[in-house]
Amino acid sequence: MSALHELGVDARTLPTDPFRGWKYLSTPARGRHGDVVIARYLNDSPKLFKSLCRVAGDALSLIVFRMRGMRVFWICHNVDGETETYWPLSTKVRRWLWGHSAEKIFVTDSSLMDIARASLKGVQEKLTPTSMGLLRVPGKRKREYDEAMLAFLRRDTDSNSPRPRLNILCAGRTGPKYIHFDLLPRLERELREGGWEPRFLAITNFQRDGVWSRGRRYDDFIQWCDNNPAVMLVREYIDFNENEWSEHIDLIWRALSDHSMSFTLFNACDAKIPLLSYQSGHLGQLIQREGIGAMINRDFTNVGPAVDRALAVNPGQFQAFMAKRSWSDGARLLLNAVTSKRLALVDDDAEQDSCLTMPGENGFQTWTARPECQAPHRSQKKP
């Protein structure tokens, strides 16, 4: 949002989801909210009735947007499927609706374009890259965790061990696509067999009953963590700044099963901590290609060489990765695709009297741009 503001765009978040957009925007009291709608996540519901309601809600929202003359765009974060998919047919229909209704489909990194073309059949001509950047989401800062984590990661606790110590961070959401948690026991075993003394700091949150997240139960994983002295499991999201812990963390372990970008890459590069990933989805290949870490083969036959390669990363690679990706670049690519003029026409002193509407992760956002930077509506004729 701040990157859009810097381009002279008045962006706001509206408190609703894409499938509820029809209700929010059809209320007369809401007033006029913009000329452009950009949808983001299309996550499913575990309950079939709610899943079907989201399909109907998306269809109704798209009808309302068209009736109000609003142009539609879609930011496709996961090019091969949504993070939460419980009823595949519902998700497929929703992605079809937005894909065929959108003027453009934004892909969150240029490296995903080939995969997006193969995954999103029939709408390949609409695909265009944008960019993500460093994002700090403040959480609950709890000093008791700081003390416990520091005590766990201190290297002098294993001063008598002949094995080299390896502190690894594994943090983020839980769910079927976040396979770094599923693979943690295997990774720990392979590292020990390779002569390392690994310690894992796992930070996550479980959505229901302390053991369930996005259709998967984690009873066995939690039990493994509790019974393993080499693992510290923090069962809630906390304000963990990788920069503050970079001297205590050797590697960040991150593996996804889908084809999407991860904020973890930006946090790791900002803190100059190498990444260790897995041969699944897009993430591992990107990390290895960009030289900001290494990828473990699917059969775990190269764990030792991968760790050595990751630990030997040139710090300049982190800067190179960040230099090619930022929210400012993403905002410019986004605005350039939506408008018909070059972004040089937009400045901080611009008059702002035409609106754009964007749904965020849990709601819509509106932005305002200069009229000379707007593309004509379908109902308008080009000069």
Which of 64-68, 155-159, 349-353 is predicted least confidently?
A: 349-353
| pLDDT surpasses 80 at 245 | yes
206-229 pLDDT, tens digit each: 988 888 888 889 999 999 999 999
Question: What CATH number belongs to 2-133+326-373?
Answer: 3.40.50
Query: Over pLDDT 90: what percentage of the chain?
Result: 61
Query: For residue 48, what pLDDT band results from cuts at 50, 70 and 90?
Result: very high
pTM above 0.75, yes or no: yes
Which range has the top average pLDDT, 57-66, 140-149, 307-316? 307-316
- Res. 35: pLDDT tops 80: no
Domain ranges of the chain: 2-133+326-373, 143-323
Cα 248 to Cα 141, 153, 305, 330: the distances in Å are 18, 6, 22, 32
Of the chain, the percentage scoring pLDDT greater than 70 comes to: 81
pLDDT at 160: 66
Give tens-digit pLDDT for 312-361: 999 999 999 999 999 999 988 888 887 743 322 222 233 333 334 444 44
| pLDDT, mean over the chain | 83
Task: Specify the pLDDT at position 162.
Answer: 76
Residue 342: predicted pLDDT: 31
71 pLDDT higher than 70: yes
pLDDT of 136 strictly over 50: yes
DSSP letters spanning 135-190: -----B--HHHHHHHHHHH-GGGGTT-SSPEEEEEEES--STT-HHHHTHHHHHHH
pLDDT at 358: 43
143-323 shares the fold of 2-133+326-373: yes
For the ranges 26-40, 114-128, 291-305, which has the lowest average pLDDT? 26-40
What CATH number does the domain located at 143-323 have? 3.40.50.2000
Task: Please say if the pLDDT value at position 362 is more than 70.
Answer: no
